[in-house]
């Protein structure tokens, strides 16, 4: 079974694009049953996952870059249909030097470096418990 906390490159691109075109532009998210009128209120990540991401960064300049996304239908099997259309956060290990725009553009996906040509590379972590539906 695939780790439900992982995002493939394809999923990462899809959820961040979905967020930007819907929620990020002021439109409501679209769920399985239509518009989401009660959007995500909070997202909780456990300590183990946060520490796992931080261990992939420099001890002095490292941190976590959070990307907003919107769950799409690719998560229905692993998380359920109640997640589709709801806001999500993807955690990406990032060092401070990767935050400037030129460096980000050189590496692609706003300082999110996937290995070129590998659509299934899994470097982003998801795994947040959201409310709703978990409230």
- Judged on CB neighbours under 10 Å (0-12, 13-18, 19+), 97 is exposed
Higher per-residue confidence, 128 vs 53: 53
- Judged on CB neighbours under 10 Å (0-12, 13-18, 19+), 115 is exposed
pLDDT at 75 over 80: yes
pLDDT at 1 over 50: no
Which H/E stretch holds residue 3?
Answer: none
* This prediction's pTM: 0.71
Per-residue pLDDT band at 101 (split at 50, 70, 90): low
Distance CA 131, CA 135 (A): 5
Distance CA 88, CA 57 (A): 22
Higher per-residue confidence, 120 vs 125: 125
3-class state of residue 39 by DSSP:
coil
CA-based nearest residue to 49, from 128, 131, 135: 128
- Mean pLDDT taken over the chain: 80
- DSSP conformation letters of 78-134: HH-GGGTT-EEEEEEEEEGGG-SHHHHHHHSTTT--PPTT-TT---EE---EEETT-
């Amino acid at each position: 079974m695939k780790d439900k906390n992982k995002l493939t490159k394809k999923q990462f691109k899809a959820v961040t694009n979905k967020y930007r075109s819907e929620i990020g532009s002021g439109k409501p998210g679209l769920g399985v049953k239509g518009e989401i009128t009660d959007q995500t209120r909070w997202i909780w990540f456990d300590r183990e996952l946060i520490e796992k991401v931080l261990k992939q960064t420099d001890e002095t300049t490292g941190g976590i870059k959070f990307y907003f996304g919107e769950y799409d239908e690719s998560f229905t099997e692993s998380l359920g249909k109640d997640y589709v259309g709801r806001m999500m956060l993807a955690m990406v290990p990032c060092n401070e030097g990767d935050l400037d725009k030129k460096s980000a553009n050189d590496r692609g996906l706003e300082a999110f470096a996937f290995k070129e040509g590998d659509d299934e590379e899994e470097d982003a972590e998801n795994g947040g418990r959201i409310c709703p539906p978990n409230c």
